[in-house]
Structure 1
Amino acid sequence: MGCFHSTARARRRYPGYDDPMQLAAQTAFSVSEVEALFELFKTISGSVIDDGFINKEEFQLALFKSKMDNIFANRIFDLFDVKKRGVIDFADFVQALNVFHPSVPMEEKIDFSFKLYDMDNTGFIERKEVFF
């Protein structure tokens, strides 16, 4: 009974939080890995504003331990923010991190890397994008 209540509370408090089994089924992560990612997500999402989302500032703090604007962190944040809301919810977080899982095919990793440099989403990496 305690698990049900804590899961229901997590769903209200952390938008995008789904049943760990459901997120595990949608990704290469196991249920225990999804649960570990949830603990990490809670830490990051509450580091500046405790609203259940990761904003850009919290993301940069987690990656670089600095609030300074960083083009690399901004670009990764943009790729994680698939709904383009300016925040990352837990489901976005897990699904975006999925590309880094060892069992994910190399083609998906290459696609992510390409998107990282194709900043204007033209389908090409142009000279100006390489020099950022």
Structure 2
Amino acid sequence: MGNASAMLTQYDIEEVQEHCSYLFSQQEIVALYERFCQLDRSAKGFVSEDEFLSIPEFSTNPLSQRLLRMVDGLNFKDFVSFLSTFSARASLQQKIELIFKVYDIDGKGKVTFKDLVEVLRDLTGSSMSEKQREEVLTKVLEEAGYTKDSTLSLEDFMTIIDHPGLKMEVEVPID
């Protein structure tokens, strides 16, 4: 894969760093480029849905189908930008915005109770009944000052999810 990193110029690295708000070091970007080239098996310059599903951690994630609509067809620059949200250096707002996109099933900028139930169903599988899911979500919404009939904007969503215990990070191996 040394060949792949040789195709990435210093200018390219700096451009990608700027595009992802400097959340990755130059070494991390080179490592991500090598991984991107491994995933892009047909060397077409973007990673397809099938190629993403070849990542075991991705394919076994209960939200992988929701994430696929965000990552299918990403070029390297956008691939790094997407992954930057998972950086320890990314802001809480960046992380919450990504989570919001996962919940915003139809992509209209609003999250409904039905959207919340669907995501919770994906996360819990058969370990919770539909009634339990609805009860839990109703309680969470009520505690945050919303009702089951509320349509949540990104700002509303941030109010509900913004708490000190939220951790959404991955480390990029540089080796």
TM-score, structure 2 length as denominator?
Answer: 0.54
- The amino acid that maps onto 2:118 is F
Secondary structure of 2:85's match?
helix
1:37 and 2:32 aligned: yes
- Cα distance in 1 for partners of 2:12, 2:66 equals 29
1:60 and 2:53 aligned: yes
Q: State the Cα deviation string for residues 94-131 of structure 1 (Å, max 9, x = none).
A: 11111111111101101110111111123322233232
Structure 1 runs (4+) deviating above 4 angstroms are: 63-66
Q: State the Cα deviation string for residues 30-69 of structure 1 (Å, max 9, x = none).
A: 11111000011011111xx342321111111214586x9x
Q: State the Cα deviation string for residues 55-100 of structure 1 (Å, max 9, x = none).
A: 111111214586x9x88323212223xxxxx511111101111111
1:77 and 2:77 aligned: no
Secondary structure of 1:23's match?
helix
Q: Match for 1:123 among 101, 109, 119?
A: 109
Aligned residue pairs, count: 111
1:103 and 2:89 aligned: yes
Give percent identity, aligned residues only.
Answer: 28
What are the ranges of 5 or more consecutive residues in structure 1 without an aligned counterpart? 12-17, 81-85
**Bigger radius of gyration, 1 or 2?**
2
> Does the Cα contact within 8 Å between 2:104 and 2:110 map onto a contact in 1?
yes
Going from structure 1 to structure 2, the CA distance change for 1:63 and 1:125 (only over 3 Å counts) comes to farther
Going from structure 1 to structure 2, the CA distance change for 1:65 and 1:97 (only over 3 Å counts) comes to closer
TM-score, structure 1 length as denominator?
Answer: 0.70
> Does the Cα contact within 8 Å between 1:63 and 1:73 map onto a contact in 2?
no
